[in-house]
Chains A and B, each alone.
Chain A
Amino acid sequence: MTWVNDVVQGILLGGVYALLACGLALMFGVMRIINLAHGDLAVVGAYLVLVVLDHANISPFLALVPVLPVMLIAGYGLQRIVLDRALRAGVLVPLLSTFGLSIVIQNILLEKFSPDVRSLGGQAGSIATGSWSVTNAISISQIGALIVVVAIAVLGGLQLFLSRTQAGRRMRATAQDPDTAELVGVDSRAVYARATALAVAIAAVAGLFLAIRSTFYPFAGPTQLIFAFEAVVIGGMTSLWGTLAGGMILGVAQTVGGQINTQYPVLAGHIVFLAVLALRAALGRQIS
């Protein structure tokens, strides 16, 4: 019954994808921006934690604390300086701008840090390597479980923010109709900037966990990006919980695919992604 273990592993993997996808979904949901630099921003988060660890002998989780405000500010600045103008210039411009940003980030990371593959697992302690055996065939890695918990917490927190707070309500209103939002007193540009700030900070969190669970290097961004996109789209692009589900479906597809043939996991994910899209198109459902 190893397939049960595969499903379990897939769900754990899905936690990573969901966490990565969260920020992407937020930016797309609020501003219709496809941020092609999102994966790279996650990698930046991991490298910033590395920098903090170079100066202080603490746990990587603790090192995230000073990195978060930096990422929040970076995201806010990114929106106000670059993406705001890009949005006004048309649909393609944010795409090109974020792609340009992606190239800039990757190459600056290459210059500052070497092309070596790194990992933060070593400094994270036993949690990075420990696991629980549920049965003989099924084992759950501690880091995998932690990531799923964090993903649920982040997604849940974001959902609560959007549905219960005034700021969240204003964000949803701006997402639906920015012009009218302005007419009822909402500063749409500030709302957008807040959304990007959140997205970038969440990307940093995702980057940290990615770095602990496996490895990272300057050009690791785009691979993660495509998985994050697949998770968002499979999940339906209409809700954050959908993104969680999407991430897990992708994770399961990859692990099951990997069982069929070790060269197939990523391909299996792509096939499931395309199949979900085709099915939705065939059923005629319009996903905005």
Chain B
Amino acid sequence: MTALLSVRDLDARHGLLPAVRDVSFEVAEGETVALVGANGAGKTTLLRTIAGAHRPSGGSVSFDGRDVTRVRAHARVGLGIALVPEGRKLFPQLTVEENLLVARRPRENGWNLERVLEAFPLLQPLRTRIAATLSGGEQQATAIGRALMTNPRLLLLDEVSLGLAPVAVDAVYRSLQTLIESGATMVLVEQDLARALAAADRVICMLEGRVVLTGTSSELSREEITGAYFGLHGVAQ
């Protein structure tokens, strides 16, 4: 089975500062992969590079067998990659409904406005509210819904629990669980290790731009991951 997403020897930098170094991994269709690591480990840059929002300085990204390294972000959405960016990044002056509709990419039996609102019932009374007035949890739901409106084959989620109250995070993860169970392919960046391990099939740990540990969530112990997270035992690949 060929992987849906294939990242090879990827390098990305911010100016002169390397953020992603020589990263390679694959994601198969239907898998949920958790990307963990301390702040500054390169997780956000990696997701943005996969989504096309950041240009890599080396290496390649392939999606469904096709090299998309030089493809612009909006075209990658057309191919089926969707990113829920760090900090939600809703369009502040548009309403919830408009935020969702902007991303609309209709597909037979796929996601549309009604289905997204069914999946996130808390948004139903908020349809005509301006996005900038929403709470963190409501914004997160809208952001995920917006990504779903593009009918993606690969969903990239960057720190969906950031800045949210625990209750709100629970709600978000409940929705994500439904998505996972329906067979979605996801790469999830998450600081909360427990949630990451619970939601994901596989875990990739990054440190200072490199992948330092990979494995299924069942075979890796918390100690191993914590060690790799902080770089305490040297690099284990």
Contacts and interface: CB of A to CB of B under 8 A. Distances in A.
A and B touch in the complex (CB under 8 A): yes
Interface string A174-196: 00110111111111100000000
Given A169-B94, A177-B89, A177-B91, A182 B101 contact: no
B103 to A, nearest CB: 4
B14 interface: no
A185 B94 contact: no
Interface string B135-149: 000000000001101
Nearest to A180: B89
A166 B101 contact: yes
B74 interface: yes
B98 interface: yes
> Contact residue range for chain A?
10 to 19
A169 B146 CA distance: 14
Interface string B74-89: 1101100011010001
A272 to B, nearest CB: 28
B91 A180 contact: yes
A265 B149 CA distance: 54
A181 B93 CA distance: 13
A243 B98 CA distance: 24
B163 interface: no
Contacts of A179: 53, 89
Interface in A59-105: none
B13 interface: no
B51 interface: yes
Contact of B94 (A166, A173, A187, A188): A173
Contact of B102 (A184, A187, A188): A184
B129 interface: no
A60 to B, nearest CB: 39
A170 B102 contact: yes
A172 interface: yes
Contacts of A170: 102
A223 B53 CA distance: 42
B44 interface: no
A188 B74 contact: yes
B102 A181 contact: yes
A182 B104 CA distance: 13
B105 interface: yes
Contacts of B183: none
A183 B86 CA distance: 12
B83 A183 contact: yes
B92 interface: yes
A74 B104 CA distance: 30
Given A166-B101, A183-B85, A185-B103, A176 B94 contact: yes
A176 B93 contact: yes
B91 A182 contact: no
Contacts of A176: 91-94
B91 to A, nearest CB: 5
B150 interface: yes
A85 to B, nearest CB: 16
B85 A180 contact: yes
Given A166-B104, A182-B73, A184-B146, A172 B85 contact: no
Contacts of A180: 85, 89-91
B72 interface: yes
Interface of A: 166, 169-170, 172-173, 176-177, 179-188
Given A177-B91, A183-B82, A187-B72, 10 more contacts: A181-B91, A183-B85, A184-B102, A184-B147, A185-B77, A185-B78, A185-B105, A186-B74, A186-B102, A188-B74
29 contacts: A166-B102, A169-B94, A169-B101, A172-B91, A172-B93, A173-B94, A173-B98, A173-B99, A176-B92, A177-B91, A180-B85, A180-B90, A181-B91, A181-B102, A182-B52, A182-B73, A183-B73, A183-B77, A183-B82, A184-B77, A184-B82, A184-B103, A184-B147, A184-B149, A185-B103, A185-B150, A186-B74, A186-B102, A187-B72
Which 7 residue pairs of A and B lie closest in terms of their CB atoms, listed nearest first? A185-B77, A184-B103, A182-B73, A180-B89, A173-B91, A173-B102, A187-B74
